[in-house]
Amino acid sequence: MSAVGLIARHEWRRLAVAPFAWTLAAVVVALMAWQFLLALQGFIDLAPKLGGLKDAPGVTDLVALPLLRSFSNLLMLLVPLITMRTFAGERRAATLPLLLASGVGDARIVLGKYLGALGYVLALVALVALMPLALGAGTTLDLGKLAAATLGLALFAAALTALGVLCSAWAAQPALAAAATLALTALLAVVDAGARLQGVANAGINYLALPTHLEPFFRGIVASVDAMYFMLLAGVALALAVRRLGALRTRAD
């Protein structure tokens, strides 16, 4: 197995044996399951009225997509908690010098840490996405729209995880890394708020905002420009994390 795979597996196992990670996953799944059941009950109550409407929204639009949209907001709080220990935890435990002395390059270390944390985040995404899919046995789902929304959510999660790894590489304490990640993602979420209040919706400032590129996926639109935005954001964040790790290695030498 490559060095990247070994580091990713170690990071995944560290999350898998941590009570905090299990508790976090349990709380998230329980919260989203409760919201899912409430939305489903609301749809059942509303279904008789929808039956007489032409082109009435179905269970996908009224239950599945709102659930995934709500989870995207929750991810902005979850990812900082998941990624805060990737490097800041190593620094606090004084084990980062051992990792740097392993002979593995900075890029592979960062990529391994990133993939390990991303695996956990994507597992949560999969658990939440399976909830509306369970309705497929009793009703007709718009699988195309649901697949687009899940893809967008996965890309969104990948970008957030990269930002979390970057902040953890810069911070000396996990709590500081979590706070920095939360602040950075919140900034990217509202960076165009002023422009939208002025009625500007297609300017460059709008392009920088996370919701601008996530919302089309929830409408069933998969555009390369939106996918590239998330991949570019993740790539830049990881490159900066590699640069930071290189600076830490030089300082240690």
For residue 97, what pLDDT band results from cuts at 50, 70 and 90? confident
Q: How large is the average pLDDT for residues 52-65? A: 78
Asked if the model's pLDDT at residue 110 lies above 80, the reply is: yes
pLDDT above 70 as % of the chain: 92
Q: How large is the average pLDDT for residues 15-38? A: 90
For residue 2, what pLDDT band results from cuts at 50, 70 and 90? confident
**pTM (2 d.p.):** 0.92
| CA–CA distance, 120 with 209 (Å, rounded to integer) | 25
Biggest distance spanned by C-alpha atoms of the chain: 73
List of residues 6+ apart from 212 with CB closer than 8 A: 192, 206
Asked if the model's pLDDT at residue 252 lies above 70, the reply is: no
The lowest-confidence range among 88-92, 122-126, 156-160, 242-246 is 88-92
Give residue 216's pLDDT.
93
User: Tokens 């196992």 belong to which residue?
Assistant: 13
What's the mean per-residue pLDDT of the chain?
87
Give residue 201's pLDDT.
66
